[in-house]
Amino acid sequence: MQVYSDSDPNRLPQLTHPPNLQRVLDRLVGNIERDNLVQQTADQVRDALEVDRVVLYYFYRQWKGQVTFESLSSDRFSIYGSTGPDECFNGDYARMYLEGRVRAIADIETEAIAPCHREFLRNLQVRANLVVPILTAKGLWGLLVAHHGSIRSWSHYDIEQVKSGAETLAAAPSIRES
């Protein structure tokens, strides 16, 4: 629908949308902004850490989630859509991440982790793993995860880079309000 102003013949027509359509458009714009922010953040973290893969593991319901974004050093590292080992991510792990737990594993073969978690990471070609929660007022929104295919001692700088990325995401209005 176009609305014209009779008082100013040089004025360009303004487009207005019915309220329902405007809500849909606003939501689409918000989703695009969120998606761009998540992808940029994952790319920046992967570049800063020089790792094989950085993923966003998004929780679509309580303790059920999947990889919805990834930044890769090579397409062969893609795990897009992976749901992870749900039987390994029980209430105890979730509670720790809700409390802000950061988990840095230099070598999955020597770290004390659940066998199902170790096997899952092996299948993903992961030897080192760094996980930071994305926390909002509503709870655990997701996990920002760095994977590397060889042993890696995560530095304070590495951990701070991933934490900064998670905080950036948690502060975004499109994530805070979802």
Domain of residue 165, residue span: 2-176
pLDDT, residue 14, reads: 56
* Count of other CB atoms within 10 angstroms of residue 159: 17
Q: What is the pLDDT of residue 20?
A: 80
pLDDT of residue 19: 73
β-pair partners for 129: 105, 147
State the pLDDT at residue 1: 43
Which residues of the chain are modeled with pLDDT < 70?
1-17, 85-86, 89-91
Find out whether 89 and 63 touch, Cβ atoms under 8 Å. Answer: yes
Residue 105 has which token pair? 């594993």
Cβ atoms 120, 85 nearer than 8 A: yes
pLDDT of residue 89: 67
pLDDT at 176: 83
Q: What is the pLDDT of residue 4?
A: 45
φ and ψ at residue 28, rounded to 5 degrees? -60, -45
Under DSSP, the state recorded for 89 is S
**What was the pLDDT predicted at 81?**
93
| Number of domains comprising the chain | 1
Q: Which helix (H) or strand (E) holds 14?
A: strand 14-15
pTM of the predicted structure, to 2 decimals = 0.84
Cα(162)–Cα(154) distance, integer angstroms: 11
| pLDDT at residue number 114 | 86
**82 CB-contact burial (10 Å; exposed 0-12 / middle 13-18 / buried 19+):** middle
Domain CATH code at residue 160: 3.30.450.40
